[in-house]
Amino acid sequence: MTLPRLSNTAARRIFLDRHALLDTPQGPADSEALLAVIKQLGFVQLDSINTVARAHDLILFARKPRYRTEDLKRLYEREQGLFEHWTHDAAMIPLEYYPQWHMRRTRDAAKLKRQWRNWRRDGFEEQLQGVLDHIRDHGASGSSDVGRDEKRGSGGWWDWHPSKTALEYLWRSGALHVVGREGFQKRYDLTERALGAMAHNDPPLTDAETIDWCCAGALDRLGFATSGEIAAFWAHVTSAEAKTWCTQALSDGRIEEIEITGDDGTVKRAFARAGLADDTAVQTPASQRLRVLSPFDPALRDRKRAKFLFGFDYRIEVFVPEAKRVFGYYVFPLLQGEQLVGRVDMKAFRAEDTLRVKALWPETGVTWGKGRQAAFDAELERIKRLAGVSKIEFTSEWLKPPSEHQF
């Protein structure tokens, strides 16, 4: 049987559309608009690195240029439109999805107790009740408020004291709820106090209901995907559960198999909703607005998928020793139209009120002419406001030869 096939251009457009990157970024960044973007993406990953702006801020800014960091804080802490938990990493998630995290919290309760017990987390289980009692009596607390007499190690994120580990465990398994952050430090409160009636979804969703929600929602947000990509999206379901869901949904006629053409002309099979080839995004050219993307942007999180669709070979080199880095510590991908056109190493030096561009590498085959430079300059003017500086500076020899490196 001949399967429907998407050209590479069509596949890119659908993928960019689902990730809110096809149209020109515009419009308000008020709470309603911001929540709509986060629902479309599913969640926004959190990260503390702030070379230009933190990952969650840059993800939202790339889609809503009027966005400022206080907009997310307002939606999260004051208006309680979001909650914080884990997908593949820590993330901000629409609060209405909280019931769908019941299965994750239940599974984490068993998994993390086993893993952390054997991962130099000695003594955290003995602190669970004490931490709960402290928060019940004193209100929302951070890691510095509990376990003050406990031994701390090097101070790295991997070396929590027992009560800090207890806080994280109680949060991940559902007894505690993160109600905000001071700086980048979480504040935890009792879930029942923070969420009220919503803390108790009675009866809770079954695993089958959650798996269906996760798999269907992942496919809708990706446009097309393999069962493995569906499983990885929320990181709630196992590969086997996603594969079973795809088999059943295919049998029920809820989805179909299609073929996707990659950047190099190779073809892969994937699952999609019926009629994807007729999606309006296929006939919609992407905006030529040049955008700086976070390394943790949802469109780039799956590096293999980015390479297949866009021919963009990327890795973040934060944990690579400086002498072995190919590009730099924290290099930002550049999107223009339906292409990832380059990558830039830049940093905001806030004490100097300056955004400094250290190096930019166009992708192979990309010409960095006056038009593209003008588009890049315009994006830097927008980004400097997000970064909290007023000046832009290019170092000498900042424009590098086209990137031909393959990791």
What is the model's pLDDT at position 407?
A: 62
pTM comes to 0.94
Q: What is the pLDDT of residues 61-94, one digit of tens each?
A: 999 999 999 999 999 999 999 999 999 999 999 9
**Percentage with pLDDT > 90 across the chain:** 85
Strands 5-6 and 256-261, how do they pair?
parallel
Q: What is the pLDDT of residues 320-358, one digit of tens each?
A: 999 999 999 999 999 999 999 999 999 999 999 999 999
In 79-198, alpha helices (H): 102-117, 124-138, 162-173, 191-195
Cis peptide before 94 (omega within 30 of 0): no
211 pLDDT higher than 60: yes
What is the model's pLDDT at position 162?
A: 86
Ranking 234-238, 315-319, 333-337 by mean pLDDT, the lowest is 315-319
Average pLDDT over residues 209-237: 98
55 pLDDT higher than 60: yes
What are the structural domains, with CATH classification, of the chain?
A: 312-394 (3.40.630.30)
What is the model's pLDDT at position 11?
A: 98
155 pLDDT higher than 50: no
Ranking 35-39, 145-149, 174-178 by mean pLDDT, the lowest is 145-149
According to DSSP, the residues that pair with 181 across neighbouring strands are 186
CA distance linking residue 369 with residue 362, whole number of Å: 11
Average pLDDT over residues 217-227: 98
**Percentage with pLDDT > 70 across the chain:** 96
404 pLDDT higher than 70: no
182 pLDDT higher than 90: no
Question: What is the pLDDT of the chain when averaged over all its residues?
Answer: 93
Total Cβ atoms within 10 A of residue 44: 24
Cα-Cα-Cα-Cα dihedral sign, residues 15, 19, 21, 23: positive
371 pLDDT higher than 90: yes
Cis peptide before 4 (omega within 30 of 0): no
Ranking 27-36, 72-81, 141-150, 238-247 by mean pLDDT, the lowest is 141-150
241 pLDDT higher than 70: yes
What is the model's pLDDT at position 116?
A: 85
Q: What is the pLDDT of residues 119-136, one digit of tens each?
A: 656 688 889 999 999 999
CA–CA–CA angle 369, 375, 377 (5° rounding): 100
Structure tokens at 178: 């993160």
Grade residue 151 by pLDDT with cuts at 50, 70 and 90. Answer: low
In 274-391, alpha helices (H): 303-310, 370-387
HSE-up of 141 (CA within 13 Å, CB side)? 24
Write the DSSP symbol of residue 284.
Answer: -
User: How far out from the chain centre does Cα 390 lie?
Assistant: 28
Among 27, 65, 61, smallest CA distance to 44 is for 61
154 pLDDT higher than 60: no
Q: What is the pLDDT of residues 97-114, one digit of tens each?
A: 999 999 999 999 999 988
280 pLDDT higher than 90: yes
